[in-house]
Structure 1
Amino acid sequence: MSPSTPLLREANLTEIESLALSSELNMADGHARQELTEAQRSIVDEFPDLFHKAAAQPVDDLEREAHRAFLHMMGQHTFPTRAGGVLTCYSSSVAMEILARSLATAGGGSVALVHPTFDNIPDLLRGNGLRLLPVEEDVLHHGPVAAAVPDGVRCLFVTTPNNPTGRVLTEDRLAGLAAECAAKDVVLALDTSFRGFDTRSHYDHYAVLRDSGCRWVVIEDTGKLWATQDLKVGLLASSEDVGLPLAKIHSDILLGVSPFILVMVTRFAEDARAGGLADLHRFIAANRSLVRATLHDVPGLTFPDDGARVSVERVDLGDRPCLDVWTRLRQGGVYMLPCSQFHWAEPARGDRSLRIALARTPGALDAAVRSLRAVLLDE
Structure 2
Amino acid sequence: MAQTKTEPVAERPANLTQFEFLALNSALNLADGHARQHLTPGQVRIVDELPALWAESVKSPVEEVEDAAHRAFLELLGQHGYRTLAGQVLSCYSSSVAMEILARSLVTVSDSILLLHPTFDNIPDILSGVGLRLVPLEETRLHEADLDPAVLRSVGCVFVTTPNNPTGRVLPPDRLRALAAQCAETDTVLALDTSFRGFEPASHYDHYAILDESGCRWVVIEDTGKLWPTLELKVGWLISAPNVGLPLADIHSDILLGVSPLVLSMIRRFAEDAAGGGLAELHRFIAANRRTLQEGLAGVPGVAFPYPGSRTSVELVDVGDRPALEVWSALRQRNVFTLPCQQFHWATPVEGEHRLRLALARPPAAIAAGTKALRHVLLGD
Report the TM-score when normalising by structure 2.
0.97
- Aligned match of 1:46: 49
CA displacement at 1:7 relative to structure 2: 2.4
5 Å-filtered alignment, 1:23-102, equals: 23-102=26-105
Provide Cα deviations, 1:192-241, integer angstroms capped at 9, x if missing partner.
Answer: 00000000000000000001110000000000000011100000000000
| Structure 2: distance between partners of 1:7 and 1:265 | 39
Task: Note the C-alpha offset of 1:82.
Answer: 4.1
Q: Deviations over 1:325-372 (max 9, x none)?
A: 001100110000000000000111111000000000000110011000
Q: In the TM superposition, what is the alpha-carbon distance from 1:296 to its structure 2 partner?
A: 1.6
Give the direction of change, closer, same or farther, for the CA distance of 1:200–1:80 in structure 2 (3 Å limit): same
**C-alpha displacement at 1:266, in angstroms?**
0.4
Q: Cα 1:128–1:167, aligned 2, differ >3 Å: closer, same or farther?
A: same
Aligned partner of 2:371 in structure 1 is: 369
Given that 2:112 and 2:133 are in contact with CA atoms closer than 8 Å, whether structure 1 keeps it comes out as yes
How far did residue 104 of structure 1 move? Answer: 1.0
Matched with 1:246 is: 248
Paired residues of 2:85 and 2:241 also in contact (CA < 8 A): no
For residue 9 of structure 2, what is the aligned residue in structure 1?
5
1:147 Cα deviation from its structure 2 partner? 6.9
Query: What's 2:208 paired with?
Result: 206
Identity of aligned residues (%): 62
Q: Deviations over 1:92-130 (max 9, x none)?
A: 00000000000012x332100000000000000000000
Structure 2 contact 166–316 (Cα < 8 Å) conserved:
yes
Amino acid in the other structure paired with 1:5: V
Tell me which of 293, 297, 312 is aligned to 1:310: 312
Q: CA deviation at 1:145?
A: 3.3
Partner of 2:279: 277
Q: Aligned match of 2:226 in 224, 227, 232?
A: 224
Cα RMSD (Å) of the superposition?
1.3
Partner of 1:138: 140
Q: Paired residue for 2:106, among 97, 103, 106?
A: 103
Matched letter for residue 61 of structure 2: P
Q: TM-score, normalised by structure 1?
A: 0.97
- Would you say 1:17 and 2:8 are equivalent positions? no
1:286 to 2:280 alignment: no
SS of the counterpart of 2:80? coil
The count of residues paired between Structure 1 and Structure 2 equals: 377
What does residue 166 of structure 2 align with?
164
Q: Secondary structure at the match of 1:167?
A: coil
Preserved contact between residue 181 and residue 187 of structure 1 (Cα < 8 Å): yes
Instruction: Measure, in 2, the Cα distance between the counterparts of 1:211 and 1:281.
Output: 31
Q: Which runs of 5+ in 2 are unaligned?
A: none
SS at match of 2:107: helix
